[in-house]
Amino acid sequence: MHYIGKINKDKFKLIAKDITTKDVILTDKQVEHIKQRHPNDYERYFKYMKEIVENPDYIIRDSKPNTAFLLKKFIKENKNFQLILRLHTNNDNKNYKNSIITFFKVGNKKYKQYVKNKEIIWKRLDNNE
């Protein structure tokens, strides 16, 4: 298990009202998932995960309960990322934490489609989108 960072629970309250922790983790099982489904993204871009979790540009409602899409654009590096985060609530196993389900780099076109077509729960005020 890898500790990634902390979320601001207030930003996620429209997705889950009873989030129990700020801590975000990434399990070894999900690391393997990311490596298999998105080859080389974990190795190349793991360094961005903490910043995405703690300072996303957009938080979007996912179709699954208590789950959020986080989008982040790194302008200097010209890279965009999507991270899926499962939020821990009172109904979950007490030993669990907020957990990253998957993470990968996305192109500009896909990033813009998400922003245009998905339900945005929260967005950074200084976005120039």
Does the pTM of the predicted model rise above 0.85?
Answer: yes
- pLDDT, one tens digit per residue, over 78-112 is 999 999 999 999 999 888 899 999 999 999 999 99
Which residues, in sequence order, are CB contacts of 52 under 8 Å at separation 6+?
Answer: 70, 72, 81, 83, 103
100 DSSP 8-state letter: E
